[in-house]
Amino acid sequence: MKNAKTGQALGKKRMSTETLVLGAILSALVVVLQLLGSFIRFGPFSISLVLIPIVIGAATCGTVVGAWLGGVFGLAVLLSGDAATFMAINVPGTIITVMLKGILCGLAAGLIYKLFENRNRYLAVIAAAIVCPLVNTGIFLLGCTVFFLDTLSEWGAGAGHDNVFVYMIVGLVGLNFVFELISNVVLSPASVRLIALIKKK
């Protein structure tokens, strides 16, 4: 009985250590991919692959790690200067939007994966890979509406858009979101294999 409890304790400790190590590796990968994001292009469009390690972390390590990786993503966006244009307009609004969209997309990916994992792991990863960019973009658009609507209305009018929401979708999100969503889904099979290997170990 004592040996069984000791084995369980060692197993939990080993899993906890593996989770910490994998979380640290994926955190570093998130930062690197965010910093290199502008160099990863498909024709004229820049494609962010930073959501892939977030999905992998959320699926292999759980929702807490997913949310953590999303937070790292948000912090990297702020520190890299990618949000500088919005920071010049509204600092608190930018920080809230960027951090919230990162954390919630990681959290949502973890919850969706957990929901479908027992049914089909492949389906679970596909669903998480779809939900992650949807939440990320959705919170971004919500933040734009709450904190930057007047400014975006001016930008939209200058770009020839009478409707600010059309400008937000076409001008700010555009086809980049489509390519990011597709890349997430296409890379999901590799994620499934990686997750399977990690689970076996």
Architecture of domain 22-137+175-200: Orthogonal Bundle (1.10)
pLDDT, tens digit (0-9, with 9 covering 90-100), for 76-90: 999 988 889 999 999
Is the CB of residue 79 less than 8 Å from the CB of residue 99?
Answer: no
Query: How do the domains of the chain map onto residue ranges?
Result: 22-137+175-200
Q: In the predicted model, what is the mean pLDDT of residues 158-182?
A: 86
Q: What is the torsion angle, in degrees rounded to the nearest 10, for the CA atoms of residue 84, residue 140, residue 154 and residue 156?
A: 110
Helices 174-200, 121-147: axis angle to 10 degrees equals 140
Rounded Cα distance, 184 and 50, in Å: 10
pLDDT, tens digit (0-9, with 9 covering 90-100), for 1-49: 444 444 444 444 455 787 888 889 999 999 998 888 756 655 544 567 8
Q: How many residues does the chain have?
A: 201
pLDDT, tens digit (0-9, with 9 covering 90-100), for 111-158: 999 999 999 888 999 999 999 999 999 999 999 999 999 999 999 999
